[in-house]
Amino acid sequence: MSAEQACGQCPALHAEISRLRGAVAQLEALVAWLRERLGGLIAAVSAAEALMREQAERPTMPRGRLLTQLHERLINALIDVERR
């Protein structure tokens, strides 16, 4: 039996590999969760930017109303992320 095969059969090594696989799985789940939240925030900021651009080119509401709309939309996006 080679040294590589003997080491691969070590119970402590197998336990450590299992522990690390679990840690990697947890980190992958966390990354997926963060990507989803960040994606929602990016979408909200992009929509706010599009609204500002649209209103700059063809205003349909007073500037004060635009600022209120932007504030409400961004606050709602943050609240949505915090709920999850």
Domain spans of the chain, in order of start: 3-83
- Chain centroid, CA 74 distance in Å: 16
Residues 6+ apart with CB under 8 A from 30: none
Q: What pLDDT, in 10s, does the model give residues 47-64?
A: 999 999 999 999 999 999
What integer pLDDT is reported at residue 3 of this predicted model?
Answer: 53
The pTM of the full predicted model, rounded to 2 decimals, is: 0.67
pLDDT tens-place values along the chain, 84 residues long: 455 556 657 888 889 999 999 999 999 999 999 999 999 999 999 999 999 999 999 999 999 999 999 999 999 999 988 887
Does the CA dihedral 74-76-79-84 come out positive or negative?
negative
